[in-house]
Structure 1
């Protein structure tokens, strides 16, 4: 089998982002293009460390407990459903981790009380739905764990907007 180019390897040209955009414009034949950058200047926290743990679904609880025991500090665990929050809050209550649930079916007074307790405890554990992902100002949160991957990329960013560590369990 003979190569079309006489046996030579194909040449790859490394392009800058500007050259890539220009070649795309040329290929599409667009005249007078207008480029609008819709990316946000700050998508996630600058000092963020991410990690991903791959584990079987039936082992997620073990990994989560291990992480919480090995890495103390103010931690938020995000779930996609109220049922998951309730189940984890019950489980980690039995394991004496003092979890504080937060979800939309709670009365506002209880939500605020749990947030206050979480803020006051340097090793607090908040187990929440995405109701806690937006508009909350919780200082010194050290860990955010995506127990369930969020349904949208926006929620992924909001969950970890100002945090140092984010863990995704898949």
Structure 2
């Protein structure tokens, strides 16, 4: 079975798409982002999907987008922050070259601002972010072959760390 060369998971704002693009350039392939797939298919931003149709509907769209991307894409794949909540998605990721890009709340404040229009961070964003990560960190870790901390690193440094972790540096 063919699969993506790298799958990136982690919280919103950690840089999955940015790092994914860098990895794709370095590995001579393409990068695909399942959040972008959903936005394109739905013709509206994710925040609008949450508000208009609810989180449950969005999660169903997300699970379907991940299934399709894992079946079709052979390059670098960046998954939405909550995609690992779906048990079937976690099963599909088993055995794949998944890297969890991690960051702490201080880094999240710098990157996301925690006051931006993120649907899951609308009320008390610092507390919400901590609670999301308490629930999600074990799931990210469960599916990951490697964990790369991103605090204080440039996207280029993170891409290097991912390549090192998956032993793809000289690929």
Between structures 1 and 2, the one with greater strand share:
1
TM-score scaled by length of structure 2: 0.40
TM-score scaled by length of structure 1: 0.40
Q: Please identify the structure whose Cα radius of gyration is greater.
A: 1
